[in-house]
Every structure is written in structure tokens, then in C-alpha cells.
Structure 1
């Protein structure tokens, strides 16, 4: 039985006789591959550009307008605009309104131009005057004549020549009299008499400072200096006896009640007008396992009075806080 090895299109099967097989379209396949690669690459590049634009665009959607260069508004050279020529003439009224304007009641001619006086004329217009024509000008003597007159001693003739033709000046009555100038002479004061004595050894000592500002030499148990006048007139109140809502002023917190009372004395001596009529309150308080004592002042009508008091003390670098009892 015969063995047929040809395919229906003709030729031999590729697996039997490759050399006789019909060649495939290799060129078409390569072109297809290159086209697909180019399309894929263009798609990737386009997606990348589109994603970048999404990232950098304005999320709020408000359009951004670039500012124009230069000045926004420029002042014109003529603020009122350019003035047209021949304004105010009657012929312009015919063109603007279509009819002639009313007849003017009075017509005036333009004034004559102003002429310059002789003093203001240009210098070229003046005529030159020769020395011979001028009779008012006196010729001065030559330098040689002056030298010869001085050598010969005839000065009088030289003076007469210089003063020839000159009118003598008549002295007035006021000018002929001598003028006496009055000069204000200061009064001479006698020097103070020098007192003879022993000197500085017996001179008076300066007076003492006022008693209000003096500090008592004695100290309390805490070692702080307390003014005698302030400590004698100070009234101390118990914190428990005050009703709720009382207006107070806190002047600081201290470790011991003695230090708080000494601070009150210093403030009373320093701000005597403000501390007048105020009562002292030393209140014990605890915070964080630590015991301290608050120094407060009583005697204010309302919160406004307390704030004014604190404003005066804070202006002098003193701690002061308005508070209310609870």
C-alpha cells in the first residue's frame, strides 16, 4: 500500500521533510509583534501622563489666573483728559447741538499785549554811551600822577583833583552830635562774708527720712523686717468667717504664716494709700502633699474695686490676683 506523505495544500509535512515544507509568513508575524509592543508602550505612557496630571492639578477646582505684569493702574498724564482745541467757540455749539447758541449780551476784545518797560528791554537795544559824551563821570587821576604827588608832598592838590565836581555832604543836626550808647551795667554784689568756725566737725546733720517710710529695727520670729506703724494698725480676719462670694485679692503664697505677715507689712509700707482700710487674711492650703499659706486682702466693694487695686500693684511688679471665696 502506498504511503502518502503530502498534505492537502501540497508539499510534504513539516515533521517528515522540513526542507520541502511550505514556509510560513514570518514577516507578517514580526510586524504584528512590533505593532502590539508599540501600542502597549503608548498605552503605558499615556496612562502615566494622565495619572501625573491628576496628581498635580488643583484639587479645589478654582482656576488659577496668572497675574499680569506691570502696574495695575497708571495715572494718566492729563487727569482731566486731553483737552480739545478751540473750546468755547460759538461755532462748536452748532456742531454739538445742531443749532446756534444764544446771542451773547456783551462782546469784549482781547486785551493788548503788555509791552516791556525800558528797564526790562534786552541789553542789545541800549545805545553805547562814549566816555566823551558823559559829562557826569569824573575822570580818575592816573597812577603816575598819584605816585608823583605822594613823592612831592602835594597831597592837597591830589585831594582837590579827586573831589573836583563833587557836592559836599551836609551834616545834619543829629549826625553832628556825638551819640552816647547806653550800656546796661550789672549791679555788683558784695561777696558774702566768710564765717570763721571749726568747719565740718560741728556742722548740722541732715534730717531723718519720714516716719512712714522708716523701717523698724526689730524683726519678728521669721526674721523678716516689719514696719511698726503697719503692724500696729493691721487687722487680721479668719478665712472661715468670710461668707461665700466675698471679693478678695490674693497677694501671694508663702511657706509659713510669719513670712506672709511680713510680706503684708512690706506692702503696707510701700503702698500705704492703697492698703488703707484693708484687712489681712492668711489662709492655709494644701496641694500635692505640700502645705502653704495664701496671703489675701479683704475690704473691696465689688470686683471692679478689686481689679483697680490689682492694676495699681501689678504696675509696680507686685503679684496680685482678684479672687472670690467659695
Structure 2
């Protein structure tokens, strides 16, 4: 049997492939060494963490020599108590031998007047002011003086004038004697001045002597403020500036509220007119209390600001 020749074997043949390069081999070995180093480093680090509490305690080494050394010449100023031999015994040291030069201790420090206690300071005496004469006593003294002047008897003078006369004459009262409120003295002839006091004219009939009042009375004065004219609401023109002070069930209550507010704020209700305007809302009749007499809206707002600050109701409105 004849042999069959195959001529296609060369088609299955392949070219030889090259081996790994030297750079790749070197890179592989370097990676392996780095990985091995990391593993060894992790093992060492874990061992150190485990043994740190036993062998890793920090130790502070003390420095050689004294920590503080006083200088031989410290300088500065010496106090009075420094350098005294008596202080060495108090410090627990032995007394030094007798020195060639002995100096006595300085005298004690004296306190200034400002450092003294309040108990040692001189007592301060306060003078009590004399009481002022009451209005009743002053009025009685005035009436008595007027009566004596009208009688034309002896020359009299009030207490204040007699004091001046005594000072000019050089006379002195006895110790402990206190002149009365209505005490009178006669001026000697040797004192220069008016010799004869002219007699006053007779008081005309029907003249009433006013009461002399000093100080303030306990009664509180009541300021009466005129309520002002009441304006008819129908006579107002549209655009008139008003202020509404409240709404009431009847006219008497509204007028009474106006009187109360005008007495509480007398300065602000001067020149204001009262308006009591009836109105119906929801089948119910009521009366609006309003004030008239404002120049513009700003004037009405200032008025309401004052009343609102004192707790009173106030709303600026405009007639439509």
C-alpha cells in the first residue's frame, strides 16, 4: 500500500516564543521583598505594642546640681527687717557672734490718720436746724404786730429786727436765756439812726388781712379743666381728623368718661371738643366718644401716644 504524503504539517508549526525579560523578573523579586518586609514590620510592631507596657516606661533623669541657686549679689533694695541678727533665731538658725558695729532696730511705723479706725476719730457733732414756724403761729404774730402798730403805743420791732439792734448796740443776753418769738427791746438813745418812728395811718374799713402761709399744704390741688364745647357729629366735614376714646352704652357714660380723662390729662385736653356720636352695629345701639381739634394725623397720633402710655384707649380716626 502506498504511503500517503501529508504536505500540510508545516501549517501547524508555530514560531518559538521569547522568555521573560530581565526587567519583569527584577520587578517580581522586588515586589516579593517588599511584601516580606511589610510582613516582618507588622510582626515587629505588634511585638512592641505588646511589650511596651513592660519595657517602655519613660524615665525622667534628674539634672545634676541644685535646681535654684541664690546669686551672690542679688541687688535690689534692702528692707528694714533684713540683715538683722534677731531674725536668725526666728528662722531657726544659730545666732551670729557679736558684730563690730551694732545698729538698733528702726522705730515702729506710725499709722497715718487715714489708717485709723472710725472709733478713734473725733466725734462729729451735727447741729439741728431750728423748726420753721407753723402757718398758724406766723399768722398770729403778724396780726398781733399789726394791732400794736395801729394802737401807736411803744416802738416795737419783730424778733429779727431786735437781733440786729442788739448786734449794733453790743448788748449781750445772759447765758442760757433764750428770747421769745415775740420779744421786744427798746433801742437806746445812743444808737445812731431814726429817733422817732412815725405813726402809721389808720387802716381803712373793710380791709381783710391775708393769711400768711409758709410751706406746702397736705391737700392736693385739683385742676379744673373746662370740658370744651360739644360738637354735633352731623356738622363734621369728610376728612376731619378725630380721636376715638371708646364706645359706651349711653350718652351719660360717655360724657362721664370724657370728664375723667380731661381731669387726668388736663394739658392735653385744652382746646379739644367733645363728640358723642350714636351708631348701630348688629342691631345694637351704642355711642362713640370722640375728640375734635387736631391739625393733622400726626397731631392725633401724638395725642393717642400720650394716652396709650398711661393705659387709656385712643385710636386716630378720619370722618368719611
TM-score range for the pair, normalised by the shorter chain length: 0.3 to 0.5
Which protein, 1 or 2, shows the higher relative CO under an 8 Å CA cutoff with sep ≥ 6? Answer: 2
Provide TM-score, normalisation by structure 2: 0.38
